Structure 1
């Protein structure tokens, strides 16, 4: 089997983009579920990996991205879920958390065979990341109450696609566990 890693997608944001107004409401609804996942993963000593867009700032690193998000107009959406000192961080530039990032290598080094995805945007980055995880033979779980859509109808279709085409488990955050399944 293998370990389970929690992947937090694009939650460190200043929300200064075209769809921000709609997305902010969805993020507010997803925050409690993300909080539950962070608490459960940390309690189980499971890897927590924040994978975040660099917003085209090619000299940025995770500290600068976090600082910008905490200084932005929606800092209240970042503070409750900000990375702790144990959290890992991967910078991405495109929709998928795997596209031209070291995430696949990192997960293999951690012994992770199962990923729990949460964050934003359900019908974009979460969908593409679930597909890329699936084609890398990782087991995929999507936390239904911890993903934030821009378009609810497209998000519902994306979730159905993840379940049907990528064998993703769709579960509420309270039903997701992070037990270490490594053989002794």
Structure 2
């Protein structure tokens, strides 16, 4: 049976960047679906992997990033989806979750052959990550209501590209098949 992992993209965020004023309302709209997906994944024992920008601080680690985001003006967008003690964490520097990160190796070690993507930004990091997964022969599902966008039209085009060009499943979060995990395991607890 295919093994899945939930990948949460760039949700540990201070929202102190260009386009944040446009992005924040979309994140607020996507947050309930993200929370629901995270809850289901954790309950089913799936690995939950946070892949996050490092804010340009090469000395940053996940606790520092999380603390900074929780002290920021939009902590209410971070707190509901924060990593738990079993979550895995990968720091990235560019748009793709795979670009010069250990994620591909981590997925192989965990036996994951399908990733479920949620987070931000649909027409940027989510799209590029789906493409990079596709070229690595890793199947992709995108929870369409659990990803936030900056430009609605580009987000719709990104969904179409992911479905058509990358064979991604693009589904509402309540229709995403998370497969079967082992309750109480996963999240890096192996």
After superposition, where does 1:156-175 map in structure 2 within 5 Å? 156-175=156-175
SS in 2 for 1:78: helix
Structure 2 match to 1:99: 99
- Structure 1: stretches of 5+ with no match in the other structure: none
Q: How does 1:4-153 map to 2 (within 5 A)?
A: 4-153=4-153
Segments of 5+ residues of structure 2 without an aligned counterpart are 182-190
TM-score scaled to structure 1, two decimals?
0.97
Task: Judge conservation of contact 1:52–1:90 (CA < 8 Å) in 2.
Answer: yes
CA contact (8 A) 1:95 1:128 kept: yes
Q: By how many angstroms is 1:176 displaced?
A: 1.2
Give the TM-score taking structure 2 as reference length.
0.94
Contact 1:91-1:101 at 8 Å conserved across structures: yes
